[in-house]
Copies of this chain bind each other. A is one copy, B any other.
């Protein structure tokens, strides 16, 4: 089959690789309907993280089950499924606590799982899915082709934006500022509105993303950064800062912006993978009782909650996809996101 392989920074190729096979009994083989490129895929693409040898890449996909192992009881051949960006059993103590990203038996796409061998990366034609009953969520059919972008966001970005809002404790009547206008930041706006926030401030300088932010529920746009950005957020929140600030970038600058934009006693919800590991400055947090909560988003646990709203059209996260390409053009998908010509690219095998 065909799948995407990264050979080196800015060297993305779609190549013939071995077909996946069932191995553990708990596996499924899923034929990919759509996959996408994640902001975090750009790290090895840009050389921020090293690529020592060619390897498979990708971790967001939806598809149809083609085969199942003999121990698979929930998922059936023919089911349309959403895979979160990781593997989990959905039964261990951490999964039961809602932190399936810390599953005691889980793993990551594009690497060896502990018992069954290699689990494909998702940017390909098929994937071996370990722990299929825990990992996959079935979408009751029939599934329309126009539903594909929205459903695909539940594999990562919509659930991740939701996690930022949940981690910050967004609730009815809150003021929320969102730092970052990428796909996750935009989904965090959707999530904030859905959870009842009444003031939603999008920090964005891009006219097209500003427009999408407004469509998703942003009530205000702030273009300023740094101290000026903090001052603007305070102006819009009675002089004290936002109740909740959602950090959806992952740099030291964006985290500082988030912390300083939060009111005393407020909370930063963060999901931007810390790029280079910025440390959190404890004194400004302590003095103003600003909390920081979040991390790698356990989206598996959010899919059932968000799915009805995606299917009904109550929320429209699929709009974050502004480019669709065939899998064969994966290299162009990476380039478009790297050069910020696209917010989020959908790939069809």
CB < 8 Å: which of B99, B102, B286 contacts A295? Answer: B286
Q: Is the CB of A264 within 8 A of B294?
A: no
A170 CB to closest chain B CB (Å) equals: 14
> Which chain A residues (88-130) contact chain B, with CB distance < 8 Å?
93-94, 97-99, 101-102
CA distance A292 to B295 in the complex (A): 12
CB < 8 Å: which of B99, B102, B292, B298 contacts A293? Answer: B292
Proximity string of chain A (279-290) to chain B, C-beta cutoff 8 Å, 1 when within and 0 when not: 111110111111
Does A267 make an interface contact (CB < 8 A)? yes
Q: Is the CB of B294 within 8 A of A273?
A: no
Proximity string of chain A (229-269) to chain B, C-beta cutoff 8 Å, 1 when within and 0 when not: 00000000011100000000000000100000001110100
Q: Is the CB of B270 within 8 A of A286?
A: yes
Question: Given the known A-B contacts A93-B240, A291-B292, are A102 and B279 also in contact in the complex, defined by CB atoms under 8 Å?
Answer: no
Does A308 make an interface contact (CB < 8 A)? no
A92 CB to closest chain B CB (Å) equals: 9
Q: Is the CB of B238 within 8 A of A101?
A: no
Question: Given the known A-B contacts A270-B286, A279-B279, A282-B274, are A94 and B295 also in contact in the complex, defined by CB atoms under 8 Å?
Answer: no
Cβ of A283: which chain B residues have Cβ within 8 Å of it? 274, 277
| Known contacts A280-B281, A289-B293, then 5 further A-B pairs from the complex at CB < 8 Å, ordered by chain A residue | A93-B240, A277-B281, A278-B282, A286-B296, A289-B294
Can you give 27 contacting A-B residue pairs, CB < 8 Å? Answer: A93-B238, A97-B263, A97-B264, A97-B265, A98-B265, A99-B265, A99-B289, A101-B289, A102-B265, A167-B291, A265-B298, A274-B282, A274-B286, A277-B282, A278-B282, A279-B280, A279-B281, A280-B281, A280-B282, A280-B292, A286-B295, A287-B295, A288-B295, A289-B296, A290-B295, A291-B294, A292-B292
